[in-house]
Amino acid sequence: MKTNFPYPTFLLALLAFSFSSFTAAAPGALSQMMADWQRAKAYTQEYLDKMPEDGVGYKPTPEIRSFAEQMLHLAGGNFNFAAAASGKANPYQGKNLEKMEEFKTKAGLTKVVNESYDFVLEALKGMNDSQMGESIKLFGRDMTRETAFAKAFEHQTHHRGQTTIYIRMKGITPPNEKLF
């Protein structure tokens, strides 16, 4: 039986294989993502180090988060995104870190923020490149695990960046940007 379709079956199979490879992380993407998260942890630590104890509760205006609340929101996001992306249990599931008094001191804040980065890094260590391409639901949206980790990275960058002005308003020069 002759068909009007000009492409042999093996070309269709090749195309299907090629398109399916778009759902998996590029080789080396996971190791780059881990390096980026390690850099982000160190960079965030510099922010925590720069803010003096008396600035942890500082708010530039009454209606916005304090420095501690920004960092606690960042940490909560790290826990929530990484738990959803990896399937690991969030150790603070159902808790609002921003409302927890034990984290409103510089020592408590530093502890939980670093713990959140360690949670992300451990979640990434438990993954492989093919798992990163798997589909998950995050906040009611379909996305890959890789995209969920990327959104987590974007979230922590945004909230750390917001604290730059808090540090400046305390008369302190914030850490230099760390892109690499």
What residues pair up with 138 in beta bridges, in sequence order?
Answer: 141
72 in a structural domain: yes
Residue 87 pLDDT exceeds 90: yes
179 in a structural domain: no
- Residue found under tokens 């906040």: 139
One-letter amino acid at 89 equals A
Reference 69, options 56, 55, 53, 81; nearest CA is 56
9 in a structural domain: no
pLDDT score for 35? 96
Reference 78, options 92, 59, 58, 66; nearest CA is 92
| Prediction pTM value | 0.85
Supply the CATH number for residue 161's domain. Answer: 1.20.120.450
The band of 49, judged by pLDDT with boundaries at 50, 70 and 90, is: very high
Cα 19 to Cα 55: distance, rounded to the nearest angstrom = 51
Total count of domains within the chain? 1
48 in a structural domain: yes
Contact between 34 and 125 (Cβ < 8 Å): yes
Residue 150 pLDDT exceeds 60: yes
125 in a structural domain: yes
18 in a structural domain: no
- Which residue did the predictor score with more confidence, 26 or 6? 26
Give the structural domain span for 41.
Answer: 28-169
Residues 101-127 pLDDT 10s: 999 999 999 999 999 999 999 999 999
16 in a structural domain: no
Cα 41 to Cα 50: distance, rounded to the nearest angstrom = 14
37 in a structural domain: yes
